[in-house]
Amino acid sequence: MISDRSEKRYEPRTEVDQYDSVEISIPDAGLIYRFRIWNLSSRGICIVVKKDSDLLKHLKVGNILNMKYYPTDSSCPTEYLKTRIKHITKDKQGRFRNHVLVGLFISEK
């Protein structure tokens, strides 16, 4: 379910330094998406998804998916990491209007 409320952050956010983007695959639906990672904290990362994307039909808060992470340093290998969907929040007025912010939490390295 998509939340309309603003998310309150209790810790500072820093720029992504380890991963540049993440690939989300939904094999049952034949979907593969790659997203730029926007920010990082000890609690997780955030991607921006168009509000009408078919991907959102397959994502629910609490889902755990094995996602493919692309490192910032292209000489490093990609990594598959278990990742939990932490939140799905509409951005009605901000920079990403008509999009949703999907918070991810890497639960296992």
Over residues 38-61, mean pLDDT: 85
**What was the pLDDT predicted at 98?**
85
Residue-wise DSSP of 23-52: EEEEGGGTEEEEEE--EEETTEEEEEEETT
The residue ranking higher by pLDDT, 35 or 10, is 35
Over residues 17-42, mean pLDDT: 86
Range from 8-22, 48-62, 88-102 carrying the lowest mean pLDDT? 8-22
| Per-residue pLDDT at 49 exceeds 90 | yes
pTM: 0.78
pLDDT digits (tens, 9 = 90+) for 73-94: 989 999 999 999 999 988 777 7
| Per-residue pLDDT at 101 exceeds 80 | yes
List, in order of start, the domains of the chain with CATH numbers.
Answer: 19-108 (2.40.10.220)
C-alpha distances in Å from residue 16, one per residue of 9, 22, 52, 75, 85: 17, 12, 26, 17, 18
Assign 96 a pLDDT band (cuts: 50, 70, 90).
confident
**What was the pLDDT predicted at 20?**
92
**What was the pLDDT predicted at 109?**
66
